[in-house]
Amino acid sequence: MAGTIKYEELKALLAQSGGLVLIDVRGDDEVRGGRIPGSIHIPLSMLDNALSLSPAEFKARYNATKPAPDTPKLVFYCMSGRRGEMAAHRAHRDGYINVYNYAGAYSEWSRREPKQL
């Protein structure tokens, strides 16, 4: 079952080194307006394909290490929370264990943090 994560917890995880993989499932146009630092951009429509790639293919396509099924915290976010929730459920269905949706989403992040491109 996918869980939820709040702003304060995400901030703390971002301050630590390792253990967090943060995936932005918004569309290309939305990402141009800013994103959470350290996130990997994988539009929701591409997520199933991305998670089925080999680690080498994932690295080549997204310039990031593919998350392992037992990644300590695999967190998804979108603009308002719904697509992030869908992504978290899909990842859990595909065998990922520690899956979360940042419920506040980018809309909350952008209100509370300086814009990051």
DSSP per-residue codes, 36-56:
-TT-EE--GGGHHHHHHS-HH
For residue 39, which of 5, 75, 73 has the smallest C-alpha distance? 75
Q: Which helix (H) or strand (E) holds 4?
A: strand 3-5
Say if residues 29 and 81 touch (Cβ distance below 8 Å).
no
N-terminal to C-terminal alpha carbon distance within the chain: 31
Ordered domains of the chain (ranges, CATH)? 3-112 (3.40.250.10)
pLDDT at 86: 96
pLDDT tens by residue, 69-98 = 999 999 999 999 999 999 999 999 999 999
What is the share, in percent, of the chain residues with pLDDT greater than 70?
96
* Confidence grade of residue 115 (pLDDT, cut at 50, 70, 90): low
The residue ranges of DSSP E strands in 9-105, in sequence order, are 20-24, 40-41, 73-77, 99-102
pLDDT at 17: 73
- Extract the tokens encoding 26: 């918004």
78 is catalytic: yes
pLDDT at residue 116 tops 60: no
For residue 49, which of 92, 2, 80, 90 has the smallest C-alpha distance? 90
Indicate which residue of 78, 79, 88, 103 is catalytic: 78
pTM above 0.85, yes or no: yes
Say if residues 78 and 44 touch (Cβ distance below 8 Å).
yes
